[in-house]
Amino acid sequence: MIAAWLAPALAAALIGPGSSEAPVASPAPARSAAPIAQRGVELSATIPSLFLEGEPFVVSLEISATGDSPVDLPAWMLTPAAWSASRKALQRRPKKASVPLQPGQVLTVTLDLAPLIQERFSSPTDFSLAVEGAKDTKQDVIWLGAPEADIDYSTLSGKLLEDYQVVLFTSGGPIWVELWPDVAPNHVRNFLDLCDSGFYEGSPFHRVIPGFMAQAGRSKDGTPAPRKVQAEFNSRRHVAGVLSAARLGNDMDSAESEFFIVHRTSPHLDQTYSAFGQVLTGMEAVEAIVDTVEKNEAFLEKLKKGGVRIDDRNPQVAMALHDPIPVQTIHKAVVVRATKSRPKKK
């Protein structure tokens, strides 16, 4: 029998045999599959590796009936009770209610666990999250605290700027970056202010060159950047994952809001562009953004082989080659408290 409190979750979760549902995008998800201690059922979980204080923490659990006979699934598997934070269930697990699964049937449950995790831990702390009965779904999660309200980043010293990092939520996935105020304090101040003010929300990656970089930072609605920043060339190398300020041609002091993430090591940029940070996690998101442009190039090559005449020297063609399809954007930029925690190497 299905309890009344479970009906809404079940209505949202039930999917026909053999089908699936895409999970809601969430920070740095790690997907893993494992059988639970019940024969004929398999679990596949999507768990973020970053917890941003004050932001949703969305997890997804896909439950598949893999056997030849119907199975009774504990009803709490469709609720937050299925999840354990640091080996303790987030909610009580009643034993009586169950949900019948037919062979080949798939249930997908997507939940925002942020309120329960905030309630579980009295102070910011890294933790692990897993699905009950599926040890292989365990994910270590780094807690990123929220900064104080109404910070004027333009007035902070270089030392105080070290207290902040940024998470970019992009079409390709989340990108967590550290900043380098020790070598480019004014670029860091500018970047933090633009992130905190919402300037980057909806900003497209308008120029992407595989093997070189992915550039973004224009406002969505054409609003001009609030300031220019003088060059802060430094000794940091432009290796993969470095954030650096875009500028106009030979005007060294023309940096505003636009920046790029280096895709592959580019030594010709060293000490001629202002590097101000580096990706900590999320290079897979950068790769996903770059991949949209690589598909453009493959399509044009296919046209050429088919006899279609295309002039690569035409600026419009060159621009099309570097314009992601579909459009790739920064959905949101969130300033977080800096932490020395780093993902464990697998």
Query: What CATH number is associated with residue 139?
Result: 2.60.40
Whether residues 75 and 179 share a domain: the answer is no
Boundary residue ending a domain (117, 144, 171) = 144
- 10 Å CB burial of residue 333 (0-12, 13-18, 19+) is buried
Amino acid, single-letter form, for residue 127: F
Pairing of strands 173-179, 242-245: unpaired
Query: For the chain, what is the largest distance between any 2 Cα atoms, rounded to a whole number of angstroms?
Result: 72
DSSP line for 26-48:
-SSEEEEEEE-SSTTEEEEEEEE
Whether residues 226 and 122 share a domain: the answer is no
What b/e sequence results for 208-225 when a residue is b if at least 16 CB atoms lie within 10 Å of its CB, and e otherwise? bbbebbbbbbbbeeeeeb
Question: What CATH number is attached to the domain comprising 256?
Answer: 2.40.100.10
The reported pTM is 0.84
CA 321 to chain centre: 25
**pLDDT (tens digit, 9 = 90+) per residue, 307-346?**
777 666 666 666 677 888 889 999 999 999 999 999 877 5
303 is a domain residue:
no
Whether residues 162 and 225 share a domain: the answer is yes
140 is a domain residue:
yes
Contact partners, residue 73, CB within 8 Å, separation at least 6: 38, 41, 63, 98, 99, 100, 101, 107
Whether residues 253 and 331 share a domain: the answer is yes
The closest of 76, 46, 61, 59 to 109, measured between CA atoms, is 61
Whether residues 281 and 157 share a domain: the answer is yes
The C-alpha angle 101, 21, 93, rounded to 5 degrees, equals: 50
Helix (H) or strand (E) holding 288: helix 283-305
CA 44 to chain centre: 19
Whether residues 328 and 204 share a domain: the answer is yes
**pLDDT (tens digit, 9 = 90+) per residue, 257-269?**
999 999 999 999 9
**pLDDT (tens digit, 9 = 90+) per residue, 119-148?**
999 889 999 999 987 878 999 999 999 999
83 is a domain residue:
yes
How high is the pLDDT of residue 23? 30
Boundary residue ending a domain (90, 115, 144) = 144
Whether residues 215 and 128 share a domain: the answer is no
Segments forming the whole domain that contains residue 214: 153-287+315-337
Whether residues 140 and 11 share a domain: the answer is yes
293 is a domain residue:
no
CA 121 to chain centre: 23
How high is the pLDDT of residue 138? 93
Query: Are 279 and 176 within 8 A, CB to CB?
Result: yes
Pairing of strands 50-52, 134-144: parallel
The number of domains in the chain is: 2
Whether residues 50 and 132 share a domain: the answer is yes
How high is the pLDDT of residue 4? 36
Whether residues 324 and 217 share a domain: the answer is yes
Q: For the chain, what's the residue count?
A: 346
Contact partners, residue 306, CB within 8 Å, separation at least 6: none
Q: What share of the chain is helix, strand, coil (3-state, %, to 5)?
A: 20, 35, 45
Q: Which positions of the chain have pLDDT values less than 50?
A: 1-26, 28, 33-35, 37
CA 137 to chain centre: 19
Residues facing 243 on adjacent strands: 261, 277
244 is a domain residue:
yes
Boundary residue ending a domain (90, 116, 144) = 144
How high is the pLDDT of residue 280? 97
Amino acid, single-letter form, for residue 64: S
- 10 Å CB burial of residue 96 (0-12, 13-18, 19+) is exposed
Whether residues 98 and 228 share a domain: the answer is no
Whether residues 185 and 324 share a domain: the answer is yes
325 is a domain residue:
yes
How high is the pLDDT of residue 219? 94
